[in-house]
Structure 1
Amino acid sequence: MEIDTGASVSVISQETCKQVFGSDNSLEKSPCSLRTYTGEKIDVLGKRKVTVIYNSQSVDLPITVVKGTGPSLMGRDWLHKLQLNWKSIFKIEQLAHNQEPEKDKELQDLLRKYPQVFKEGLGTLKGTKARIYVDKDATPKYFKARPVPYALKEKIEKELDRLEKGGNIEKVEFSEWAAPIVPIVKPDKSVRICGDYKVTINQVSKLDNYPIPKTDDLYATLSGGQAFSKLDLSQAYQQIVLDKESRKYVTINTHKGLYQYNRLPFGVSSAPGIFQRTMKNLLQGIPRVVVRVDDILITGSSKSEHLNNLETVLGKIQESGMRLNKDKCVFLAPEVVYLGHRIDQYGIYPVESKVKAITEAPEPKNVTELKSYLGMLNYYNRFLPDLSSNLAPLHGLLKKQKRWKWDKSQQEAFELSKTLLKSSKVLVHYDPNKDIILSCDASPYGIGAVLSHKMEDGCDRPVGYVSRTLAPAERNYSVLEKEGLAVIFALKKFHQYLFDRKFTIYTDHKPLIGLFNENKCIPPMAAARIQRWALTLSAYEYKIVYKEGKKNSNADALSRLSLNREGKTEVPAEMIMLMDHMDSTPVTAQQIKAWTRKDPILGQITNYVLKGWPNYRDNDEMRPYFSRKTELSVFDSCLLWGNRVVIPNPGREIILQELHEGHQGISRMKVLARGYVWRAKYGRRN
């Protein structure tokens, strides 16, 4: 029960009342009429008497029963009768079972009994192999190996050797199926190899849509838990061995030849369902345990029950041959976030961060920002019938010749509008059984997204909002990259809602449809970060749809009124290596930057990349760049096509001379040049 000094009476929801009092649902009539602090009417079902024991005193008090599933509130009527000791309430005390896990002897003794579970290296599930089911009439899909950047070639070969020695992959001479690879550079500069399966097996395999736990089931399993432990399976999917028949479907094509995966790889669309079913079968029957793909949540009504349940789970995992990532596990925590809800011993609540983008949104600074914000409000106006009258001070600033002046009346209207956007009239709880929509947008200085449900009447209702400002380097991204960043940012923020669920992405940037299309190959000459983002998306089951900017106004406003928190700039390792390499030659990155600025064509193209492309080209010299507009990017004021630097005219002869001095022949010289640099040849693609 939460203390609410703003509530005149104490209330309990109908659902909680049933759980506490069972079949005893007799209620007295209640004459009171209740409203929320935003003015919404609360449906009162009646009231009942309950016995309250506090500080050695027992007293019978009335509690009002209301519709809904919200938390119980202790209002001023109870506070007056109980005469609470506020000093002791505000004092923070550490509960015995919530002490630091490292200092909890019982817990540490328990963990030491299962050393194999936390052993380094990849575990192997015993007795069960995964199978990928493919339509009988499916035509095999074979893709050639993609060209590999020279800066990454040695690292890719090293990773392939490591995977082969570990038994994860094996070399094969022939395969009807083959997916190209996308190398992902990790923070330590090593490379992770992923197959682009969305163009091969994902199009024809049968999904294992194993259901995730419903919120009601989750509450029933975890209700009454005093503390929570969350276990993380190390390299989850790859702990499951593939059956021999399925291995041909996950063949990858590399510059070193063909390799088959022996274990379930990342990027296969049926993998989440296979893994969920496997874990559910492994841990079924253990009380107060919930499994969500590679996250296992455990609780108990007491510390001893909790540790008993934890020991049973650890025993099952050790017996199965699987392993946990101890660094990512949490033990005996007082609260956890799970499936988009915050769970503690008192109940289950929506996560406050869902509406942080609205709560902390700064007020508009000009007419453009105000129009964008009002557009979002208008998007939800069907749920807020009295909105127009409340926003009159804001609409007044849009009048022609009206001088911009933001005073108290505008601020009050703005704060009221934010309260309404967070209210139950607009915001709904996440429901895994409803269609999911992810609306994303970017502005020159911010990104934002809205997660929504498609309701039975066809309207969109928001579940949560997120936004942030762009870091200085991100503001130099192309328009395409900013829009892509908005999608990836939203995926990471709403991952718990989206993973292993079908959903639709709305974007108002058409070129993004081609690059992130769920059924198309990742373009080999797209910018490195676009390739990585497209690969990240391949782990999700989505459809991406173009939505005109005016109709995408809910996400547009968040990108323009983004929170004042800058993101961390992602600097791709390939680009760093490429720029470092160029600095060691007679042509430096600084020279290329200066030449690009002065070149009338490249200067204009750079401007198009950063600010958006027109629908026409000025002359034939622009043609090679227009045909590659989704593959061009800007890094440190230098123009790049994929991983290759676009060389301005003054540098072309110098580069050719430097390459020629290697005396490797014209063919070898061309191959070397195409690995690092590019210059436009008008009239044909090169």
Structure 2
Amino acid sequence: MKIPWPKEFEAVAELVGVKGPKAELVVLGALLRGRAKAVYDSLDGAGGKTTGEAVAERLAAEFGSPVDGEDAPQKFRLARLPVDGGPLVLAVELTRLLRRALPSLDEESEAQLLASQFVESVPATVSQQLKLVNAAQPMDISELAKVTRQLMTRTVAPVGCEKQEMSNVEKKIEELEREIAAIQVNNKRNDKCYACGGTGHWKINCPTRRRRRYVRRYNECSFYPRNLGIVALVDRGAVYTRVNINERDLVCLIDTGAAVSLIGKEQCKRIKPCTLAVHTIGGHMLEVFGVSNSIVKLGDAEINFPFVVTTSLSRPILGADFLKEVKAIVDLRNGKVVTKYGSLTIHESSEVAEIRVAADVSSKKPNIHELCKKYAKLFTGDGEPYGLCDRVKHEIPIKNSRVNIFASRRVPVHLEAEVNRQVQEMLKEGIIEEADSPYSSPVLLVKKPNGKYRFCVDFRELNNITDLKPCAMPTVVETLDRLQNATVFTVLDLRSGYWQLPIKQSDRSKTAFTVRDKQYQFKRMPFGLAGAPFTFRRLMTLLLKNLDNVEVYGDDVVVYSQTEADHIKHVEAVLKRIDEFGLRINKDKSQIAKSSVTLLGHKVGNGEIKPLPEKILTIKNIAVPNSKRKLRQFLGRAAFYSRFVKNFNEIAAPLYKLLSGTKFTWTDTAEQTFNRIKNMLDDRQMTLRLLEPGRLFTVATDASDHGIGAVLSQADRVVEYASSHPLNRSIQPSKRSV
């Protein structure tokens, strides 16, 4: 790692008249301090001749180590205005630490994060004024440093006077304590103090002893815990999210700089007393009542987590301890907090978070809110009835008339109670009914990432004898390409869409399954049937017939418009049709009237489309494959985003070649290709332009012995990459130039 200080030192040394390598070494040794001085002394005392190059190389190795880089985030977060330096010194230090902590951060994100941290690093009195100034006119860190210098010239005198005044008061108190002790000497001449050696008082009353307060403090805050992923921090202010805590939906502040998570007294149930002391960033101590073990719901998981209970708290604070517990990835660019239990939506203000159906692009036009209120009955959640549409019924035609008796599968004893519980829930909700059928498919429970179980029926044998009636199904790329010129989006997630369709009465018996001594069959279309996607697609085609600016993929209905006024009309038409069909929408997974939305593993908005960071991170975390099956899985997941990467298939050709041979042998070339593909998958750079009808397209092509590549663009911005890899044949020179 190259660092600029050696050249700067030589230039200064020459300027002040220090000549010769020996003289420079002597001056350098006198100037170094702390850890750097220890490194210098170790070289000087090791014997032999110490040269300037050796010292520079040793210092570079010491301060450029990975451990030093890991400490940079913590130092960045805890950096404060130095006593012996000014705002400009702080600005330079913050810039150095951030570039060391996040070397690949883009310029815009770096500037915003530096400005945000600088405001937090100056004294509280100056920080409040900076926030007001910066809110009116956003500034970079150098401009903030200049303003801070001006503000401090006005406030430094009062602060200094206050400190001096406190110092004088403390001295007066000490003098009074000594005088009181001296007055008592006459009455207690035989009393001896074992603290100061004087007489007339005891050790416990000695005026030379300062009373100590034993307080447990939480001051181990770090920038962000090392296992807490941070993706593209570009936000300037506080961010909020909705979380269910103690069976209440609460708007919470996300504060990665807070060491502990806080909650108000009225928002928790049982409080255990404790002796904690919690200080704010301004040094004020909060009144703490104790700790409350609260139930936090994330997705399908329930987490028992201790919150510190305090007063003067309008909203709970999710601190670094909670974010570390749920292994959070804070993605402010895409407005999400991704945890191991599911994702939370980030809002830029608590007012927006209070609205269950957020409308971030239409805050000035309440029509979208009125529209959502008008169709409020369509938005349902857990515990509420499912919709039912009988305009399309699922059929299961069999290829032959012979009834097959499918093999059963025993449910493990320790899971029988869970199976019975879920069966009773489905009976209550009208999803299944008791049966007497010659068919019987096996039941199994699949463990979900959150530790809970999904009830599944293995319909593979039934699917093998089913006569399918396929229909045209859209691809992800086709769906995304149709969102042309749109600026406002709504994504309506049909709640458990399959369960809102009935099965034809005569075909219900074919879905039968047995739990212990009872048999059941599905009344609604279950997951796992081979023909289910086609039936659901037919319903969606009928549902959205003659409606403009709407697409559907699976159970996601996407409404897109160029203006807010048009969007209200388009959304109302879709909601009206959904109401007529008797369907219901998942209120927790829908996105209403947004400038950008999460759709089919992508972030779409502002004329761009990009993959979700958590999806890319999952691919990057895949271990080196040790079989063809695992290699095929890796290539399948990575190739899903090949349209974002130039010459993907040509680059991945060595890995595809491993799939064609009879023996799997992992080579150095395969290792290099594997790592290269991972490095290419960078969500910050994988951005494509949405198609714009009417604009000129440009196609650039290229070919080599290893593959063919092409780039489709509009106005010098890439719309899509394409490539292929001819494994078993070479490309003729005449065709390369075509």
TM-score (norm 1): 0.39
Q: Look at both structures and tell me which one has the larger radius of gyration over its CA atoms.
A: 2
TM-score (norm 2): 0.37
Q: Which has the higher contact order (CA 8 A, sep 6+)?
A: 1
